[in-house]
Structure 1
Amino acid sequence: MPAWDPVQCNPLFTKNSVCRCCCDDDFCNERALPCDENPTCPPAMNPTFGSVECSNMNFLNSTCSYKCNPGYNLVGDSEVGCFETSGGLVWERTAPKCERAECDALEAPERQNGRRRCSDSNKVGSSCIYSCDEGYELMGNLQINCNLDGKWSNESPTCIRVTCDIAATSNIANGETICEESNFYASVCVFSCRIGFYLEGDETTTCQQNGEWTVSKPTCQRVTCEKQDVEIGNGLSVCSDSNFYGSTCTFACDEGYLLIGPARVTCQDNFIWSTPPSFCEQITCEKQAYNDFENGDAECTDSNIYGSSCAFTCDDGYFLTGQDTIQCIGDGVWSNPPPSCQRETCGPADINPQNGLAECDQENKSFSKCKFSCGLQTDNWDIFGSNETACEKDPFTGTFEWTNDPPCCAKRCPPFAQVDLFLVLDSSSSVGKENWNKTVYFVKSVIDNFVVSSSDMLVAAIRYNRYIDTDSEILIGQYQDLKSTTDAIINLPYDGSGTLTGQALTYVREKMLTAPGNRPNVQDMVLVVTDGISKDDTAGPASELRSAKANVVALGVVNEKGSLKKDDIIDIAGDPEKTVLLESGFGGLTDDLVEVILNQICGDPCDRRNQYAEFIST
């Protein structure tokens, strides 16, 4: 029979191979016999990424042991046996497989402010490289590997926020640090110093990705000014705190020297003293004090140096004006202004009469002769006084004097009077309509004697009783010609009762004198016409009116009751010379009385010198 003992067949298990067989019959070893096929299980194949070893190949009862290469895990039973069934030999179970080993799954790196890149996920042999987001740094290994044992070579690293050394920016002496976000990455810290200190170094620093600040912490240094600027020669400087900020230095010079510049300076936060440096300069006085001395002689002890004294004398025909000796003193000036030798003169130098001229052949010098003229030398101007004078030496005093004073120049009055005339007319019931008409026509007769214009007389008027009739008031400057002015006056209405003269005088002061038409440089004259004793105080308001520089004239008319007295109207004018008491009643408003009022308006010609003063400027 055919042999099947595997040890006798070569090659093994090959049908019809030549075998050397041992048989149970007599033909043993006579010749080679063909090998029959041995009953077997299917061949046991090496698993992918592994190997198998069988106890008796794939023959009956052979046991095959499976194992995987490093990095692979066996999935299934590690041993499989070959057994016989009715259908033949079979493996008792399916051969196991070798699958790639894995390490534990890693946490998503995005949760940790970073990124991870793995070569093969979490499989054995995979390498994972970590990186962090900007502003974070890696704590741990940059790379971890999934080892053959299914374990990671190291713990997963973490990304922590980058910080810089907080001590590198804090506690700046004499200053402060303000950081946007503490000492974390990208935080910008700004340094500043308190007043009196300056920053040495950069003003800002930034925390970088490498955990280092961009620049080192600066220092606050004390502000100083240039020390040599306050070191003063020929004098002394005393400083409250050397040349540091806020120090105040005071200067003083030695005798004979003058401080040029301020006596005190302060070191400012811009490293500069509050003013340029001061210095001590030898005191000298102006040489012109004696060099320019004319018509005389000056002798000085030490030229113009501090302490020198100079004595002055004049030539014949001149007199010394000022001190005859002056000394150069500590502040670099002469003790007195230098004198001068002046030609003998008469004083005052300007002898032009107001509204007139003086024509002199040698000004006001000795023996000068002058002639006076008034106005524009027209018939409208009058001269009051001598029309000539001369500068001559007084034989008794030895001084030169004018032989005559300047005359008064006044424009002929009437018709010319440069005044603002305010009429205050009593229209109480005691006056009566007939006497009222006499009053206004009397006033018209007075005004008819004058030129009314913006350059001459202007007239305002009110009538009063218990009340002030503002409706019929004639405002100053409202009429600027004679006819319209007198027409307005004679048309003033009449009514009312009671007499409150004090109230009327107050109205004149508060309202009429302050009206826009009242000319500021023209005399204000107030003419009060009343027939009764006022029911209110007149002395006080009248005094206040006169204090406002108004020239007040009072005309009192004694009515039928005859109660008005001289003293009553003196309280109004404040001067008996400016008071008229008409005891004959309203019938006494005659042309003679007009002349009296004209004299009050025109007054002393020399008192009218300020009128028409614009002549001087023409």
Structure 2
Amino acid sequence: MECLTRAEADIMLLVDGSWSVGRANFRTVRSFISRIVEAFEIGPQRVQIGLAQYSGDPRTEWQLNAHRDKKSLLQAVANLPYKGGNTLTGLALNFIRQQNFKTQAGMRPRARKVGILITDGKSQDDVEAPSKKLKDEGVELFAVGIKNADEGELKMIATDPDDIHTYNVADFESLSTIVDDLTINLCNSVKGPGDLEAPSDLVISERTHRSFRVSWKPPSDSVDRYKVEYYPVSGGKRQEFSVNRLKTSTVLKDLEPEAEYVVNVYSMVEKEYSEPLKGTGKTSK
């Protein structure tokens, strides 16, 4: 599964490294994390992924901006050491809020913020208040539980709706059965609505009784093409066509005389499109 998006997202993985996991199962967790990483374009202008491991005392394994490409990040995952200790999930949730979701730790102000908890047991401390604080600060939380994890606790930690953000499997080998579903939901969260920057400054010119020109300013990021959509204000057939990415204007032809039209222009990359740049234009008599 590949997540095709130009969005910026900061994803923080919070991994349970307590004794109950065990070294053999921890290797399975590493493989699970690698599958998630593989789906995204990693880099300072795209998706950044940091990781903290916890048991009794949480520790940052690497900050969000530590790995600037996928190869480096996958190498770090492969070398992730096993910590050992107790299961203090609440303490760990507070830790990533205070230590990792910070600009000085590589978080970008405009990036989407996502946290993914991976745990195999019920927490030995309170998780409700720490998870609420993260969500209140705009972090979307996913919770992955394995074996002895408490489903009610996972749902309490995760962002609503539960069916998208909460996963619970019977054993470590079953992680492979949920990784695609999790990655798809992660990708949708990273993309969000109106991911791409829209064009700006719509101008209508060169009006005739059957046509007018539509012009716009391009967004700061490159696009594959533009989509132009138009239809009569009074109601009628909606029409659309694509415009080459190097062009920033086009002429709408075969219009009705002295008629007003709604015009929407979208930036497009792959199958993604921006919010529309909206305007109206009117033909002459």
The yes-or-no answer on 1:579 pairing with 2:182 is no
Deviation at 1:418, TM superposition (A): 2.5
State the TM-score, normalizing by the size of structure 2.
0.65
SS in 2 for 1:437: helix
Identity %: 26
Equivalent positions of 1:34-49 (< 5 A) are none
Partner residue, 1:603 = 188
1:148-176 deviation digits (Å, cap 9, x = unpaired): xxxxxxxxxxxxxxxxxxxxxxxxxxxxx
Q: Give structure 1 stretches of 5+ with no counterpart.
A: 1-411
Q: In structure 2, do the counterparts of structure 1 residues 577 and 611 end up closer, same or farther at CA, with 3 Å as the change threshold? A: farther
Distance 1:415 1:577 in 2: 23
Equivalent position of 2:87 in the other structure: 499
Mapping of residues 36-185 of structure 1, within 5 Å = none
* Length, aligned pairs only: 200
Matching residue of 1:616: 219
CA distance in 1, matches of 2:75, 2:18: 22
Instruction: Tell me, yes or no, if structure 1 residue 552 matches structure 2 residue 141.
Output: yes
CA distance in 2 between counterparts of 1:461 and 1:530 reads 14
* Match of residue 44 from structure 2: 454
The match for 1:529 is: 118
- The CA distance in 1 between the partners of 2:101 and 2:26, in whole Å, is 25
1:606: how far off? 7.5
Equivalent pair of 1:465/1:498 in contact (CA under 8 Å): yes
Residue identity opposite 2:123 in structure 1: S
Distance across 1 between alignment mates of 2:79 and 2:181: 24
Shift of 1:495: 2.5
Kindly indicate which of the two structures has a greater share of residues assigned to helix.
Answer: 2
SS in 1 for 2:117: strand
Q: State the distance in 2 between where 1:430 and 1:503 align.
A: 18
Matches within 5 A, 1:163-562: 414-416=3-5, 417-470=7-60, 473-516=61-104, 517-558=106-147, 562=148
Answer whether contact 1:602 1:608 (CA < 8 A) is retained: no
Which residue identity is paired with 1:566? Answer: E
Report the alpha carbon displacement of residue 454 of structure 1 after superposing the two structures with TM: 1.1
Aligned partner (choices 130, 152, 155) of residue 570 of structure 1: 155
1:316-360 CA distance string (max 9 Å, x none)? xxxxxxxxxxxxxxxxxxxxxxxxxxxxxxxxxxxxxxxxxxxxx
Q: Distance in 1 between matches of 2:91 and 2:163?
A: 24
For each residue in 1:372-417, what CA deviation from the matched residue of structure 2 results, as whole angstroms up to 9, or x when unmatched? xxxxxxxxxxxxxxxxxxxxxxxxxxxxxxxxxxxxxxxx961435
- Structure with higher RCO (Cα < 8 A, 6+ apart): 2
State the Cα distance separating 1:513 from its structure 2 match: 0.7
Which position in structure 2 is the counterpart of 1:588?
174
Please report how far the alpha carbon of residue 440 of structure 1 lies from its aligned counterpart in structure 2 after TM superposition.
1.3
Superposed CA deviations along residues 29-58 of structure 1, whole A, max 9, x for unmatched, are xxxxxxxxxxxxxxxxxxxxxxxxxxxxxx
Contact conserved, 2:103 with 2:109, CA < 8 A, in 1?
Answer: no
